A and B are shown apart, each in its own frame.
Chain A
Amino acid sequence: MNMIRLIAWREFMENVRTKGFWVGILLFPVMLIGVVFLQTTLSRATPTRYYLLIDQSGQYEQAVATAIEREHQRRLLQEFVNYLLENRKEVNFEQTPVNASSAVDTLIEDVDADEVAALDQWLDAGGLNFALTMASPYLRENAPAFTPPAYQFVEAPLPAAVNRDGTPTEIVEALRPYLTGAQQISVNGRSEDLFALILIPENVDEFIARPGPVPTTGSVSAGIQYWARNLTDSRLPDAIAASINSEIRNSEYIKLGINAEQVRTVQRTRLPVTQLDPSAAAGEEAVSMADTFRQYAPMGFVYLMFVSLMQSVQYLLSNTIEEKSNRIIEVLLASVTAGELMMGKLLGIGLSGLTTIAVWLLSFYLFINFYQSAQTELIGEIVGVILGSELIPWFVFYYFAGYALYSGVFLAIGSLCNTLKEAQALMMPMILIQIVPIAMMAFVVLDPNNTIVRILS
């Protein structure tokens, strides 16, 4: 036993002294912090976009303006939901049913289903001011005031040299230097980049597509023309398309004599489905948020195991090879039994892998506790719920057992190799073996009492 401890300790110290170990340990926290800060900074840093709108048909200027306003309101709503999550009163996930239909949830769902209608309703209902009034009972007492975001898309004045009534080709040619960034437009005396040009030709209605035979437009620039170098930020064209389509549909309804308001109401009608757990006590049958989180806890552990094995597999392979290739193993085997040697190595390497995981978990814990934001708080609460499960000791047990099993297999394979080359050839099958639980995981969660799953456990 002493020998095992001695060997394990040496293995551990040797691994701990490698650069790779520290890179591995620090990578996760650095990534965690990096991702969060980058995301926040990037989303805050998105600059104001200036666009030009030339509507030669004279019909859709209002629709585009609405689209811009809606886009702004959507952002505002998102920010507001974040604000709500961040500053709401404590919520007990144990008591919160999965299908709890809070006003915010429905609103978000509606936004997904029919964005325009939902946003219209939000605006009709008074927008931000109304929402703030509605939300006030759910907010913490010392919640800070909500600061709405600034408009992101702003219309720029048309440069004097451009003729609003020219042919679309002429207009695009005149504005091309601005669109490519060669020239800047003047907004309120300042020079700014032109983000996009929205050009609605006079004959735009000819291109309205209706169900039926595929219409042949014949031209690449048919319909509304959206000119922009930035192809990834699709919020503006998407919003414009949604708004104009809604406008067109409205006029179609009117043409066909249908009440548009009624149609919208019908689109947003729904019947709730309540999930119930037959094994729960009376009155607590409703499947709570916590229950669903717990269902996913095993997944977390499988990923944890995958990551820790990925980390250790190198050590498991290469350490035995070092000893074999330079015959240290002969000295060792003249000192300890093969069993002691292997057990010591397994423990030592296992321990270094687990140290990394422990440090990661610790940094994760510190992160969600000391970096206050809506997401981290939510994650913290979810983690808290998962850790409250009575199955946790089992998860931990199976994690260690699985880890030991895998490491044992890898170590055995490693000890069969004489050179690093042979071992590298074995890396691929070993990684595939590691993927097995991940591939299985989805099925296991769906049906944890399946016979095959039981046998595999």
Chain B
Amino acid sequence: MQESVLSLSHVVKQYGDFTAVNDISLNIPKGSIYGFLGPNGAGKTTTIRMILDIIKPTRGEITILGHSSALDVRTGIGYLPEEKGLYKKMKVWAIIQYFAMLKGMEKKAAKQRAWTVLEKYGLKDFAEAKVETLSKGLGQKVQVLSAVAHAPELVILDEPFSGLDPVNQGVLEELIRDMAAAGQTVIFSTHVMQHAERLCDQILLIAKGRKIFDGSVAQAKATIPRRILIETNSDISSLRDIDGIREILILAANPVTGNAGQLWQLQIQQQVNPQLILKTCFDKGIALSRFEFTEPSLHDVFVHLVGDDARERAAR
């Protein structure tokens, strides 16, 4: 079993009658990139605050870097809060140095480190600028750097990608990968599935404060059936006999191409090879005008698992 840097056991947070986080348990292995996914208001930030011991859980236990409170291992943690803000009057390099020093770095080393990370992640030209002169995105980048400049064992980023342009999202992804490669554990929360899909070894999916899923991205994808789209005028009833096809659904005629051909969706089981189905189609003489196999994306998983819930919240 891998060494665990953070584990939550039946953690509950209640505000009066409202339960923000309901019975969440998880285990995060060292060196992994771990995503907290969930719709707005799912309880991601509350969970993160409890992990950091900024607020106390109503029930349950949290073990972080072998301690019961994050305050005991402060220097080993880097944290980027959801709402971004920095001291407006300070210079970029000075603020990174300051936060690194608060995390226990020596003054000189902290300054050197500030310049190193600024250079590495493309902010060297802004090092002498005051924070108030930076754009929102740049400011956010600075804040991420100030959170991780002291090379903490565990990095917790709350919505780090929000407000960044695609290029800088790429830079941030690179930073997260670099940290994981250096053996640091990274936890980040997001509701943008693409980042999680590209980056995460493991994800936690929560909605309404409840854990819906916890595991690897592949496992997450396995929770929804794989699908093949075929378009044909032939009779496809013979396909029903193939092992591993769970269900065949008839969809409306292709709305895009306007073809007369009928559109079908085959839901297949995990172990089934789509090539086999294609071969069967040829063997049975089914004339295909389209055969499309796609892996489900994390987005599909997300919508599948929490879609109804998220819509309900949005409608409220």
Instruction: Give residues in A with beta carbon < 8 Å to B.
Output: 3, 6-7, 10, 14, 17-18, 322, 325-328, 330-337
Contact = CB atoms under 8 A, between A and B. Distances in A.
A17 B74 contact: no
A18 B90 CA distance: 11
Nearest to B45: A330
Contacts of A10: 87, 98
A14 B91 CA distance: 11
B99 A331 contact: yes
B41 interface: no
B15 to A, nearest CB: 17
B93 interface: no
B52 to A, nearest CB: 5
Contacts of A14: 87, 89-90
Nearest to B77: A334
A335 B89 contact: no
The winner among B70, B74, B77 for most chain A CB atoms within 10 A is B74
A326 B140 CA distance: 12
Contacts of A335: 74, 99, 102-103
Contacts of A7: 102
A328 B86 contact: yes
12 contacts: A3-B102, A6-B98, A6-B102, A7-B102, A14-B90, A327-B82, A330-B54, A331-B146, A332-B102, A334-B70, A334-B74, A334-B79
B45 to A, nearest CB: 10
Contact of B101 (A6, A18, A328): A6
Q: Which DSSP category, helix, strand, loop or mixed, fits chain A's interface?
A: helix
Report the 7 A-B pairs with minimum CB-CB distance, sorted nearest first.
Answer: A326-B85, A335-B102, A327-B83, A330-B81, A334-B79, A327-B81, A334-B52
B71 interface: yes
Given A331-B80, A337-B71, 17 more contacts: A6-B102, A326-B84, A327-B82, A327-B84, A330-B49, A330-B52, A330-B54, A330-B79, A330-B81, A331-B99, A331-B147, A334-B70, A334-B74, A334-B77, A334-B79, A335-B99, A336-B102
A328 B85 contact: yes
Given A327-B83, A327-B84, A334 B90 contact: no
Interface residues of B, number: 25
Interface of B: 49, 52, 54, 70-71, 74, 77, 79-87, 89-90, 98-99, 101-103, 146-147
A18 B89 CA distance: 9
A336 B89 contact: no
Contacts of B99: 331, 335
Contacts of A334: 52, 54, 70, 74, 77, 79
Contacts of A337: 71
A17 B81 contact: no
A331 B102 CA distance: 10
Contacts of A3: 102
Contacts of A332: 102
The winner among A17, A327, A331 for most chain B CB atoms within 10 A is A331
A3 B103 CA distance: 9
A8 B234 CA distance: 79
Nearest to B48: A330
A252 B125 CA distance: 94
A250 B254 CA distance: 126
B259 to A, nearest CB: 54
Contacts of B79: 330-331, 334
A432 B190 CA distance: 48
A1 B148 CA distance: 23
B49 to A, nearest CB: 8
Contacts of A330: 49, 52, 54, 79, 81
Nearest to A15: B89
Contacts of B77: 334
A336 B79 CA distance: 12
Contacts of A333: 52, 54
Contacts of B89: 14, 17-18
The winner among A6, A10, A322 for most chain B CB atoms within 10 A is A10
The winner among A3, A17, A333, A334 for most chain B CB atoms within 10 A is A334
The winner among B70, B74, B102 for most chain A CB atoms within 10 A is B102
